[in-house]
Amino acid sequence: MSQNYPSLFKKYIKHSNEKESALNTIFQFISNYPQESLILDVGCGTGEISHALAQKGHKIFAIDQQDYFQRDPRIQFQKTNVFDFKTNEKFDLIIAAYLFWEIPFERWEELMNLLLNLLKTDGKLLVIDSVNTSPYDNPFFSCNIFSDRSEKENRDLNNYWFDFLKKNNCNFKSNKIKSQVQTKSKEEMLNVLEFFFFDENSQNLFKNQKKYLLEKMRNKKDSNLTIIELEHSMEIINPK
C-alpha cells in the first residue's frame, strides 16, 4: 500500500491544471524566510513539501494521520490526526496544503482556531486548496460530491474564509479565489469513480474508500450530485 502512495501523490500533483502547483506556490512563499524557521506541515502525506523545506535549512515538524511519510532525520514526523496533535512549540509558518477539503465543513472553524493558536505572534498560516474545473481531470478534487448539503449551502462555503477571517480580525492576502458549482448525474460520477479507483496505482490504496463511496452514491435518493470546486491560495497572519 505504501509503495503505491508516492506515485498516486505525484499523479495528484500532475493532474492539477493550475498555473502554479502547490509546491511552487509554497516555495515562492517561503523564499524569504530565514534559515531555521520553525515550520509545521499539516497533512504532509509522503513528505514532499517537508523534505524540500528541510533542505533549505528550516526546522520542520510534519504530521499526517496516515504513515506514508518518507523518514528524514531532519524532520520530526508524528502520525496523528490534526485535532489530536500535541506540542509545546509555536511556529513561524504553518502550511495546510489540500487539508481543508478532507475535513468536514462543520469542523473548519475548529481547525482554523487550532492552527492559529499554534502560530508565533508574528507567525503565518498558508492555506492552499484547489479543485480543477473538471472532476474528470482529477477525481481527488471533487469536493462534496457526497454531501447532502444544498447547492446554496455549497456555494456559501466559498464565503466561509472571508467571514471567518474578518470575524477573527485576521489579516490575510488571497492570491487566487475561484468557485464553480457543477451538477453531474449519479451515473456519470459512478463511471468516474469506477475508472479512477481501478487505476493500477490506486486500486489497493483506495479499496475500502472505493467501496464506501460507491455504496454511498448508490444509496443517495437524488439523481444528480452537486460538486463545488474551489481554487485558492491564502496567506493568513496570526491576529494575536
Summarised one tens digit per residue, pLDDT across range 19-56 is: 345 667 777 778 778 888 999 999 988 888 898 889 88
Q: What are phi and psi of 94, to 5 degrees?
A: -120, 130
User: Is 193 inside a domain boundary?
Assistant: no
Take residue 165 and report the three cell numbers written for it.
477571517
Residue 85 in this model has a pLDDT that exceeds 90: yes
Looking at every residue in the chain, the average pLDDT score rounds to 67
User: Is 173 inside a domain boundary?
Assistant: yes
CATH of residue 24's domain is 3.40.50.150
List the 38-42 sheet strands across, edge first. Answer: 75-79, 59-64, 38-42, 91-97, 119-130, 224-237, 171-185
Neighbour count for residue 166 (Cβ, 10 Å): 10
Residue of 97, 91, 117 lying closest to 24 (CA atoms): 97
Specify the number of domains making up the chain: 1
User: Is 46 inside a domain boundary?
Assistant: yes
User: Is 102 inside a domain boundary?
Assistant: yes
> Burial, 61: exposed, middle or buried (Cβ in 10 Å; 0-12, 13-18, 19+)?
buried
Summarised one tens digit per residue, pLDDT across range 92-150 is 999 988 787 677 777 888 888 899 899 988 888 888 765 433 333 333 333 344 444 44
User: Is 186 inside a domain boundary?
Assistant: no
User: Is 117 inside a domain boundary?
Assistant: yes
User: Is 202 inside a domain boundary?
Assistant: no
Q: Which domain holds residue 40?
A: 4-134+151-180+230-237
State the pLDDT at residue 100.
76
Q: In angstroms, how far is the first alpha carbon of the chain from the final one? A: 42
CA distance 205 to 140: 13
| Model pTM score | 0.62
User: Is 99 inside a domain boundary?
Assistant: yes
State the pLDDT at residue 113.
87
Summarised one tens digit per residue, pLDDT across range 202-216 is 444 445 555 555 565
